[in-house]
Chains A and B, each alone.
Chain A
Amino acid sequence: MNPRFHPQDHHWLDYAAGQMDPASRSLLEAHLAFCDTCREQAGRTVDAGARLLAPAEPAPDRLLEGILARLKPAAAPQVGTETLPLPRSVWSLLPDLGGAAWKGALTRGFRFLEASPGLFLIHMEKGRPFPEHGHRGLERSLILAGGLRDGREVLEAGDFDESDATRVHTPVALADEDCWLLASLDGGIRFSGWRGALQRLAGK
């Protein structure tokens, strides 16, 4: 089933223009893994850039040899010895989590890790709430597996959500399945000072 909540046209323009922070870009790409409609929309948006790649001399063969030597088959993401139960379509979109550590011990049934600067992987056990929080800036999220209820809305795998600083909310994982999601918190290098929000929730 296609997701119900999608990034908007301006998100794809920002994506195509390279004006989106890397963490939010990861969310949009994860959405593409679920959404045929947006794959076409994103395709239309980026196709305008095709004209920038004008003909040029071939690249040196050694570059290709280096690329092929580094190809790896897709593998399920792991944190320590734990293999995460995420859909195969998003395996290659997550950064290497080998060095990441779960946080969130203060709240049972809720944990998270910072997958890359400003990009958080969040795991909520079924039926468990995300600690109440407000936003000092923009929060975007993308459901990878399971689902959650946020006020009157239910978000499920592939759904994209964006909240601004005025919203205080307490999402709750659906009762029948653990929820895994990615969130970007106006983080990244250009927007430093924001990604502390989750750490503060964990008492760090």
Chain B
Amino acid sequence: MTLEAPRSSSRLSNLPDRSLLARIAGQEPEALAELFTRYGGRVLAYVRAMAGPSFPHEDAVQEIFLTLWQKAGLYTPQGEDAAGWIFTITRHKVFDIQRSIGRVREGGLPDPEILEEAPGPDPTLAPSLEKALAMLPEEQRAPIRLAYYGDRTYEETASLLGLPLGTVKTRIRSGLATLRTLVLGRGNP
């Protein structure tokens, strides 16, 4: 069976993300097209920023939206939109593709400063998140930047910071919990 390939329609453009996801879970291709219209550009920008130049960005975006098609029924948005879930699926897919193409980091880990060298404004970091990160104690901020936003494993983060793995995990969890409260407490930027 082949599903038709419709374009996003104005009929759906006023629906909140939650309703759109319900329609995607009900296998309506138009709803996925509308979701792509809303988020495709942001997902592509995020994949580019996260994965670096030698990465199949556009293939990844297609895989991400196919995954959203399969998993739409699993997600219950708590806020106004589905961006958080889409971001999570995006991160998973980038990691999976990186694993599958056998990316190996050898010869020492990059210096943490490299995270600060992105040219111009970082398209993936919204101002409210930067502010919330800045409010965390340094001992939590550093591992979160590396592990959560810097594409490092927990093990790599512990090695970079010279800390035991368990300590790093504890600080990340505490920091993320605080961050969640700070960001969600402020509403949309």
Partner of B126, one of A52, A58, A60, A89: A52
- B71: chain A residues at CB < 8 Å are 29, 92-93
CA distance A46 to B90 in the complex (A): 12
CA distance A47 to B179 in the complex (A): 11
**B77 and A47 contact, CB distance less than 8 A:** yes
**B36 and A47 contact, CB distance less than 8 A:** no
Q: Which residues between 98 and 131 of chain B lie within 8 Å of chain A, taking CB atoms?
A: 99, 123-126, 128-129
Interface extent on A, as a size class? 35 or more
**A13 and B74 contact, CB distance less than 8 A:** no
Residues 77-103 of chain B, each 1 if its beta carbon lies under 8 Å from chain A, else 0: 111010111111001100110010000
CA distance A126 to B125 in the complex (A): 51
Which single residue of chain A is at the shortest CB-CB distance from B94?
A: A18
Interface assignment of A43: CB less than 8 Å from any CB of chain B: yes
Interface extent on B, as a size class? 35 or more
**A67 and B32 contact, CB distance less than 8 A:** yes
Main SS at interface, chain B: helix
**B87 and A50 contact, CB distance less than 8 A:** yes
Interface assignment of B13: CB less than 8 Å from any CB of chain A: no
CA distance A161 to B149 in the complex (A): 29
**B62 and A66 contact, CB distance less than 8 A:** yes
CA distance A53 to B50 in the complex (A): 12
Q: Which residues between 42 and 93 of chain A lie within 8 Å of chain B, taking CB atoms?
A: 42-60, 63-74, 89, 92-93
Q: Which residues between 128 and 178 of chain B lie within 8 Å of chain A, taking CB atoms?
A: 128-129, 147-149, 153-154, 172-173, 176-177
Residues 25-43 of chain B, each 1 if its beta carbon lies under 8 Å from chain A, else 0: 0010100110011011111
Partner of A17, one of B5, B32, B176: B176
**A71 and B128 contact, CB distance less than 8 A:** no
**Chain B nearest CB: distance from A29 CB in Å?**
6
Q: Which residues between 105 and 155 of chain A lie within 8 Å of chain B, taking CB atoms?
A: none
